[in-house]
Chains A and B, each alone.
Chain A
Amino acid sequence: MPLSWALFASFLLAAAGYVVGRSRAFATAGPDVRRLHSRPTYHGASVGLAALLPALAVMAAGSILRVAGVLSDQTGPIIGIVALIAAIAGLGFGVMRIGQQYQARNVVEHMVLGLLMLCSLIAIVTTAGIVLSLVFETGHFFRVYDWKTFFFGTEWTPRFQGNSQLGIVPLLWGTLYVSAIALLVAVPIGLFAAVYMSEYASRRVRGFVKPAIEVLAGIPTIVYGLFALITVGPLLRDYFAQPLGLGNSGTSVLTAGLVMGIMLIPFVSSLSDDIINAVPQSLRDGALGLGSTPSETVRQVVLPAALPGIVGAVLLAASRAIGETMIVVLGAGAAAQMSLNPLEAMTTITVKIVSQLTGDSDFNSPETLVAFALGLTLFLITLALNVVALYIVRKYREQYE
């Protein structure tokens, strides 16, 4: 890895530049260090940054060109050497600039500000990357597959010999079904837990229950997935599906929905907790002063006041449920079908993205490319939910501030 050596060397050069710059600054200051415009450390930092930044820029540009295919793969050492030359040149330039009147602090602060700005742009770059990669590959997909069949087809039977039916409708149905069950579990439980904790619970109970619910939030989804697979799935099959004659599949919509509901409880409860706590105490005091019981206060004053925020929280939870992967991969099954029976295995968009993109796949077949179209659909659905939810929550917060 010549580039990593060049990177290492430029960091060393930058460190050396710092030391040299600092001692040069002391030297130019003469007997009284106060004659310098900036403190010697700033002179050192300016030399160090002058050495490091050009080298990093060269290496970044070189890597991008290499990835884009403009430069061949063998150019690694050349890029490294060019980067080192840039670092040495920067170092020399930096040292030359040192003088009593040189405003090192302002220069360093500008460079640091530029770096900070650059870092904050990475979020934009990420979003752009997501959108571009999804749109680009989806475009590929629609060139080899009819978009009408994709959006309105009710059959999902990918065959790697070709002639697949790739309709999104059954996947969408499974996704919405699982999410609906999950929300049916999570919203009432999460909401009641939040209400109880903010309006009734004593300090001690709160101090114990709140962290415990946060533990649920900290458990990785693969753990919930395994729980669905080895505990909840067989349980539902043996005690509900088989006795009721509703199927005998270990994986089912209900399994995934229940477990996902448990996963979402902390999410709903902590969001609603914030929102309920944001309702001004004066509203509660007013209601209680008029003689209503605490539960009447909650139902008729606090909850209506918090309603927009709670709707936002539910939408955020819905977006989480739709995008959740591991629980449905392990709990919901892989059969793409549309049925009302919650004890049957169904599948979701995320499951199919995983199954189409794992394993050996040919990146030009519609069976693989469809995953990108599914990804784009998923991204747009969750994005829409998030934008609406964040707008509502923000608007609501402002209302009481």
Chain B
Amino acid sequence: MANPMKIRAANKDGVTEVKVLISHEMETGQRKDANGAIIPAWFITELSAKHGDKVVLQGEFGTAVSKNPYLAFKFKGGAKGEKVAVSWKDNKGDSRTDEATIA
């Protein structure tokens, strides 16, 4: 099981800004270890964010995204006390969902 994401969500003037720090290795599959063996690729392939039941962001991630990616986005709507959930899937089949309350 992967480490939890850190999520902050804040509503201002009807727009909710969400900031996410994802904890993931994001190995490209191009690097080699000290013995010259290729480190197998391990990266997030899909990411989505939901506000309640509504999907507000969906994205396909790849090897170009850095280790422990930082993601920030805004969407219209959302109110204090409501929940925002972010989930990802990686190429090893692992997935994770974390939730934050809009402040």
Task: Tell whether A pairs with B.
Answer: no
